[in-house]
Amino acid sequence: MQLQQITEGAHGSGVCLGLARYFSIDPSWVRLAALVALCASFGTALVVYVVLSFVIPYAPRTTPDTGKGLPNRWRHYVETQKAKWSGVPA
């Protein structure tokens, strides 16, 4: 199984749902671990989460995208930024 972001039912970009599906565990545990890591790392986990949201590809949607809600807006923002920065030399 490939690691992918799952935006359907996500509270953010879908990274935690994707990690939960990849490791076959309950998403609540992944979200709890992310929250604990955020508090314990003084914000470093947030940087890791944002980087993962740009690196991990999105899973194909099984329901139509309505364009409403945080996950859909986040997905649109990430895709826009990827397109914007794809031609910039490193």
Mean pLDDT of 30-58: 90
39 vs 43, higher pLDDT = 39
Cα 33 → chain centroid: 15
Contact, 45 vs 38, CB < 8 A?
A: yes
CB atoms within 10 A of CB 12: 17
63 vs 56, higher pLDDT = 56
Contact, 19 vs 28, CB < 8 A?
A: no
- Res. 36: pLDDT tops 90: yes
Nearest residue to 36 via CA among 26, 50, 25, 46: 46
Write down the pLDDT at residue 87.
73
Q: Which two tokens stand for residue 10?
A: 């996500």
Nearest-Å Rg of the Cα atoms of the chain is 14
Write down the pLDDT at residue 24.
92
